[in-house]
Structure 1
Amino acid sequence: MLRGNQSYITEFLLLGLTTDPKQQTWLFASFLIMYLINVFGNSVIIAAIQGDARLHTPMYFFLSSLSLVDICFTTVIVPQMLVNMLTQRKTIPFAQCLTQMYFFVAFGITDSFLLAAMAIDRYVAICNPLHYTTTMSPRRCLLLVTVSWVVSHLHSLTHTILMAQLSFCRSNVIRHFFCDVQPLLTLSCSDTSVNELLAFTEGSFVIMSPFIFIIISYVYITRAVLRVPSGGGRYKVFSTCGSHLTVVALFYGTIISVYIRPSSTYSITKDRVVTVIYTVVTPMLNPFIYSLRNKDMKQALRKLTRRSE
């Protein structure tokens, strides 16, 4: 499409992680395996929770919701990347690129809100156990999950609408393996100040506010645990929170380093590697993190295994 003397872009070229055919072969195999492990592992977690009445509690309700989002989060990115590696056709239409960006941002923010909901659940269970049943009622748990989805999708929709209004008339090469906000902004020939301001302010808010809730929750949890007289009691409490803290550290340790900063400091090579961790590796590891140290989950998985035999 032409406007004046400028040719406006209708599709982008995703360079991926590498252009070396030899490296693409083992990368294709690696990402395919990680994706299948992610889908299978998180599906098993959901099935185990649904199939065991003892796990029909707020904590496991949030965990099954997180597993569902993790599957969706990775599915938005990896299949398209695998197709690009397999066919060597790396182009993606503008509309499809925006769609991918929309769902990537939406599911990523939903992940962070669900992690915050899980932290609040642990805070109520440990610090206010007598009021746990009424505070974390099924209705309130459902409301927390619903709000997480709605706020995340509204946030993503705002970014997508603003991005759709930009003009792209320079290079159409995205030096990334999927359509993300920052790589697209660097290609625009329009004024992106509003987009960048929104990404840094409102974007920081929706990422950091759940993180702050998590930090505050664990400050109170730590204070409560330190009052427990027996060492065994402290270990039991911390073991129930250890899995969640591990996932939080993996998720926020990478995502903050990419998004909570001005776009002028964006580094293609560094951020591409870090992005792989929170988009592919962390969702794949979550089922193992939550099941290996959780006695109830192990029992539910054994029950599921016996049922499938």
Structure 2
Amino acid sequence: MSPLNSAFFKNITFDNIVKPDYFFISGLAGIPHTKYYHVFLCFVYALTLLGNAFVMFMIYTDHCLHSPKYIPVFNLAVSDLCGSTAIVPQMIDTFLFKSHLISFEACLADMFFAIWFVTMQSFTLTLLSYDRCVAICLPLRYNEIVTSKSMLVIIATLWIFAGIAILIAVIFISRLSFCKSTMIDSYFCDHGPIHLLACNDNTPSIVINWTHPIMILWFPVLFITGTYICIGRALLKIAAASERLKAMQTCTSHLILVSIFYLPLGFTAALGSAIHQNARILNMSLASILPSMVNPIIYSLKTEDFRESIKKFYRRNKRDITKE
């Protein structure tokens, strides 16, 4: 054990568990010219806060958007905003201000919230595909199936399920013994690199590390693919080309969001060890922050109801300014 690592450890004798005082997040430290990336992070974070806060404000204040299909959109904005807040400020503090040390307890909290919000982003995109599938495949029963109550129940269930699953993963990490290294080769307190540092039996964490990508990536992708197969079959049954095009356009914004979120994650996961470690860390960090910035822009530009709501908001404020 190096002198640096030995200084971080606090020997706790409960079940012979050795816990460090601090972890060292190395992540982007080996990537050149990261100061430019940190400036970019600040810009992305500012746009993420403004964009998602604006989406939440518009949905909350405009009664025309008080429909079941906009409940998951509101939830996506919440998870995007919270997810970026859980990751980006910590990254800026770690790599721009050279504060690479993070306490053991703070690292576990960072792990929980960062993974929780990213998981909810994935689940919400899956829920949006369900909404589009019902709207196109069962249009006559849409208002019966997709109600505000059902959407709220589904979203609450997803939040609770994701929270419990990730809490279990964090609890298993807290029971590991770290007597070798405290250097986390990631841009935040990532579950994968941390459990590999353990020097006692980490089998439960290995299983969790394999199952979590299935929960957050592969199952949602399969579900979304299934819904769009159903949507495609339903569109083929629509005789009028104009009606078919109109139905397809309602899916455009969601497909863009899905592509932006899942393609970088899937690409990095598929390459595995074939991709350079620095490239993997950079790709994963971009994949975890860019969708949160782009999502509100896509919905504002590509959703007709939302565009109309923005126009009404602009005209109303313009009239108020003119009166003054």
Q: Normalization by structure 1: what TM-score?
A: 0.91
Q: What's the counterpart of residue 67 of structure 1?
A: 77
CA contact (8 A) 1:255 1:275 kept: yes
1:163 and 2:173 correspond: yes
2:48 paired residue among 38, 45, 48: 38
Q: 1:176·1:268 contact (CA, 8 Å) conserved in 2?
A: no
Q: Contact 1:38/1:284 (CA < 8 Å) preserved in 2? A: yes
Q: 1:12: which partner in 2?
A: 23
Contact kept, 8 Å, 1:110 with 1:149, in 2: the verdict is: yes
Instruction: Tell me the equivalent position of 1:144.
Output: 154
SS class of match (1:178): coil
Distance in structure 2 (CA, Å) of the matches to 1:50 and 1:168: 47
306, 313, 317: which one aligns with 1:304: 313
Show structure 2 runs of 5+ residues with no match. 1-9, 319-324
Shift of the alpha carbon at 1:152?
A: 0.7
**RMSD between aligned alpha carbons?**
2.5
Question: Percent identical across equivalent pairs?
Answer: 29
CA distance in 1, matches of 2:106, 2:287: 22
Q: Deviations over 1:178-236 (max 9, x none)?
A: 11111112222222222111221355145433322211111111111122222222221
Distance in 1 of aligned mates of 2:282 and 2:96 = 20
The CA deviation at 1:299 is 1.6
Superposed CA offset, 1:33-77 (max 9, x none): 100101100111111112221111222111111011000111101
TM-score w.r.t. length of structure 2: 0.87
Distance 1:36 1:143 in 2: 31
Distance 1:180 1:266 in 2: 18
Aligned-pair CA distance for 1:257:
4.5
Say whether the 8 Å CA contact 2:29–2:95 is kept in structure 1. Answer: no
Secondary structure of 2:196's counterpart equals helix
**Which of 294, 302, 307 is equivalent to 2:303?**
294
Match of 1:284 in 2: 293
Change (3 A) 1:261 1:39: same
User: Residue 253 of structure 1: CA displacement?
Assistant: 1.9
2:61 is aligned, of 51, 55, 74, to: 51
Deviation of 1:86 after TM superposition, in Å, equals 3.9
| Bigger radius of gyration among the two | 2
Aligned length: 307
> Aligned-pair distance for 1:19?
5.2
| Residue equivalent to 2:88 | 78
How many angstroms apart in 1 are the aligned matches of 2:292 and 2:310? 19
Q: For the residues of structure 2 that align with 1:276 and 1:205, how far apart are their CA atoms?
A: 19
- The alpha-carbon distance between structure 1 residues 307 and 14, as it changes in their structure 2 partners (threshold 3 A), is farther
Gapped runs of 5+ residues in structure 1?
Answer: none
- CA displacement 1:146-173 (0-9 Å, x = unmatched): 0110111011101100111111122222
CA pair 76-259 structure 1, distance change in 2 beyond 3 A:
farther
Q: Residues 184, 267 of structure 1: CA spacing in aligned structure 2 closer, same or farther, 3 A cutoff? A: farther
The Cα shift of 1:87 comes to: 2.5
